[in-house]
C-alpha cells in the first residue's frame, strides 16, 4: 500500500543557506532577503520548484543566500536566461533579481523584452541609484548632480525611472516598495507572486557606503507619513500624518495636484480613487516625486493578460498534426526548387 504524505510547510529559516551573507553592514539588501524568505514560506513555495536568477551586482548575490535552485548569470543577461528557463520548464516558479545598473544599463534591452513578452517571472529591481559593487559609479537612475568616482563634477545625465520604463515596455504588473518597510514589502512581494505574467517590482534600497540617504526625502521617519502615498485599488488617494492630504485631478486638466481636505470645500469625494487597471493613471502616479508630491508606493498597475509561455505552447498545440506526417514529406513541402543540369 502506498501512502501519500503532504509536504511539511516550510519556515522562512528553511530558505536560508549555509553561505555567509556578504553585503556591507546596514545594506538594505539584508531586509529584502529576509522579506523574500518570509514571502516564500507564506505562499507555500517549494525549494525544488523555485529558481532565482540574477545578473551582476550587489543584488545579484541573491541566489547564494536563498535555499532554492539558482543561476548567477552575466551582466544584464538575467532576463534572457530566465526566459529560456521558463520556456523549458514552465512549471517552475522563477524569480529574477537585478539592480538599477545591471537591469537598466547593459541589461535594459533584455529587461524590455521580458516585460513586453509578459513572461511569467517575478522581477525584483533593487534601486539604490548607484553602482555599489564596482565602487560607486553613477547608474541610469542616478540624479543629475550625483558625484561619484566616474562623475567627480556631478552627473549631467537625466535619470531613468524604472517604473515608467516598465510601463512603457508594456508590463502588466508594476509596483513599488521600500527595503525597510517589511510589512509593505512582504505584502507587495505576495501580490507579485500571485500575478500571472511578468511582475515588475521596484524596491528603493539604501546603499550605506556609496549613496547613503539618497531616499531620505521620503523614507526618513520624520517625513515618511507626509511623503509617501500607499495606493490601494478602489480606495481614495489619501496620505499625510493626519490623513488630511490627497491627490486629485486639476479641474479640466490631465494633471495631478495635492490638496488638503476641508480647505476650500475639498472633501474625500474630490480625490482620485486608485484603479490598478488604468495604465494612464499609473504613468501619472509613477512620475510624481517629492517634495512637491508624495512618492507613490504599492501596486500602481495590474491588468493580467495571457502569459508568453501560455501563448507559445498554445501555438505549438494548435499546429500539431496540421503539417506533413513524416520528415521526407516535410522536406518537400513549401518553397522548393529543382536544380537542372
108 lies in the same domain as 249: no
Q: What integer pLDDT is reported at residue 21 of this predicted model?
A: 96
Q: Is residue 333 part of a domain?
A: no
Q: Where are the alpha helices (DSSP H) in 89-139?
A: 100-101, 108-117
- For residue 327, what pLDDT band results from cuts at 50, 70 and 90? confident
- For 170, counting Cβ atoms within 10 Å of its Cβ (0-12 exposed, 13-18 middle, 19+ buried), the class is middle
Cell reading at 34? 529576509
pLDDT digits (tens, 9 = 90+) for 46-86: 999 999 999 999 999 999 999 999 999 999 999 999 999 99
- For residue 135, what pLDDT band results from cuts at 50, 70 and 90? confident
Could you tell me if residue 17 is left (phi over 0), alpha (psi between -120 and 50 degrees) or otherwise beta?
beta
pTM for the whole structure: 0.92
Q: Is residue 336 part of a domain?
A: no
201 lies in the same domain as 169: yes
267 lies in the same domain as 210: no
Mean pLDDT of the chain: 94
Distance CA 258, CA 320 (A): 57
Q: Where are the alpha helices (DSSP H) in the chain?
A: 28-42, 62-65, 78-88, 100-101, 108-117, 162-168, 182-194, 216-219, 224-227, 279-286, 308-319, 327-331
Q: Is residue 301 part of a domain?
A: yes
54 lies in the same domain as 192: yes
Residue 49: what are its φ and ψ, rounded to 5°?
A: -120, 15
Nearest to 198 by CA among 95, 336, 325: 95
199 lies in the same domain as 109: yes
**CATH number for 92:** 3.40.50.970
State what percent of residues in the chain have pLDDT above 90.
84
Coil/strand/helix, residue 94: strand
Q: What integer pLDDT is reported at residue 1 of this predicted model?
A: 65
For range 161-189, the mean pLDDT? 97
For range 144-162, the mean pLDDT? 93
Tally the residues of the chain. Answer: 341
pLDDT digits (tens, 9 = 90+) for 37-47: 999 999 999 99
Q: Which of the two residues, 149 and 246, has the higher pLDDT score?
A: 246
Number of domains in the chain: 2
Q: Which residues contact 173 (CB under 8 A, 6 or more apart)?
A: 191, 192, 195, 197, 198, 199, 200, 299, 301, 302, 304
- For 266, counting Cβ atoms within 10 Å of its Cβ (0-12 exposed, 13-18 middle, 19+ buried), the class is middle
Q: Are 108 and 123 in contact (CB under 8 A)?
A: no
First and final C-alpha spacing in the chain: 72
Q: Is residue 98 part of a domain?
A: yes
Coil/strand/helix, residue 52: strand
For range 202-212, the mean pLDDT? 95
Q: What integer pLDDT is reported at residue 212 of this predicted model?
A: 94
How many CB atoms neighbour CB 305 within 10 A?
12
Distance CA 284, CA 287 (A): 5
Q: Are 180 and 306 in contact (CB under 8 A)?
A: no
158 lies in the same domain as 285: yes
Q: What integer pLDDT is reported at residue 60 of this predicted model?
A: 94
Domain that holds residue 267: 236-273
Q: Which residues contact 1 (CB under 8 A, 6 or more apart)?
A: none
155 lies in the same domain as 264: no
For range 246-265, the mean pLDDT? 91
Q: Is residue 325 part of a domain?
A: no
297 lies in the same domain as 269: no
Indicate whether 336 pLDDT > 80: no
Q: Is residue 77 part of a domain?
A: yes
Distance CA 125, CA 100 (A): 7
266 lies in the same domain as 191: no
Indicate whether 8 pLDDT > 90: no
Indicate whether 341 pLDDT > 80: no
Q: Is residue 327 part of a domain?
A: no
Written as one string, the DSSP assignment of 173-216 is: EEEEEETT-HHHHHHHHHHHHHSSS-EEEEEE---TTTSTTTTH
pLDDT digits (tens, 9 = 90+) for 93-123: 999 999 999 999 999 999 999 999 999 999 9
Q: What integer pLDDT is reported at residue 152 of this predicted model?
A: 92
Indicate whether 260 pLDDT > 90: yes
Amino acid at each position: 500500500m502506498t501512502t501519500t504524505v503532504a509536504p511539511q510547510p516550510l519556515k522562512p529559516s528553511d530558505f536560508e543557506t549555509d553561505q555567509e551573507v556578504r553585503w556591507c553592514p546596514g545594506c538594505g539588501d539584508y531586509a529584502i532577503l529576509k522579506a523574500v524568505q518570509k514571502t516564500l514560506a507564506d505562499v507555500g513555495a517549494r525549494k525544488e520548484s523555485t529558481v532565482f536568477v540574477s545578473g551582476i551586482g550587489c543584488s545579484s548575490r541573491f541566489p547564494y543566500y536563498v535555499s532554492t535552485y539558482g543561476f548567477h548569470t552575466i551582466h544584464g543577461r538575467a532576463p534572457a536566461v530566465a526566459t529560456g528557463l521558463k520556456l523549458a520548464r514552465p512549471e517552475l516558479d522563477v524569480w529574477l533579481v537585478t539592480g538599477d545598473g545591471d537591469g537598466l544599463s547593459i541589461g535594459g534591452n533584455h529587461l524590455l523584452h521580458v516585460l513586453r513578452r509578459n513572461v511569467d517571472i517575478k522581477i525584483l529591481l533593487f534601486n539604490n541609484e548607484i553602482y555599489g559593487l564596482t565602487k560607486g559609479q553613477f547608474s541610469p537612475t542616478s540624479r543629475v548632480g550625483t558625484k561619484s568616482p566616474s562623475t567627480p563634477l556631478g552627473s549631467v545625465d537625466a535619470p531613468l525611472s524604472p517604473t515608467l520604463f516598465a510601463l512603457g515596455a508594456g508590463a502588466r504588473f508594476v509596483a513599488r516598495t521600500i527595503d525597510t518597510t517589511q510589512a509593505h514589502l512582504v505584502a507587495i512581494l505576495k501580490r507579485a507572486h500571485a500575478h500571472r505574467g511578468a511582475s515588475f517590482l521596484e524596491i528603493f534600497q539604501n546603499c550605506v557606503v556609496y549613496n547613503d540617504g539618497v531616499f531620505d526625502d521620503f523614507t526618513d521617519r520624520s517625513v515618511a507619513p507626509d511623503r509617501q502615498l500607499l495606493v490601494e485599488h478602489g480606495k481614495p488617494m489619501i496620505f499625510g500624518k493626519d490623513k488630511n492630504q490627497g491627490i486629485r485631478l486639476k479641474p479640466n486638466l490631465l494633471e495631478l495636484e495635492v490638496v488638503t481636505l476641508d480647505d476650500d470645500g475639498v472633501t474625500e469625494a474630490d480625490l482620485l480613487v486608485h484603479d490598478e487597471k488604468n495604465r494612464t493613471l499609473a504613468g501619472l502616479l509613477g512620475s510624481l516625486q517629492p517634495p512637491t508630491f508624495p512618492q507613490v508606493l504599492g501596486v500602481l498597475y495590474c491588468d493580467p493578460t495571457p502569459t508568453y509561455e501560455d501563448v507559445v505552447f498554445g501555438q505549438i498545440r494548435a499546429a500539431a498534426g496540421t503539417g506533413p506526417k513524416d520528415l521526407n514529406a516535410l522536406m518537400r513541402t513549401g518553397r522548393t526548387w529543382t536544380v537542372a543540369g
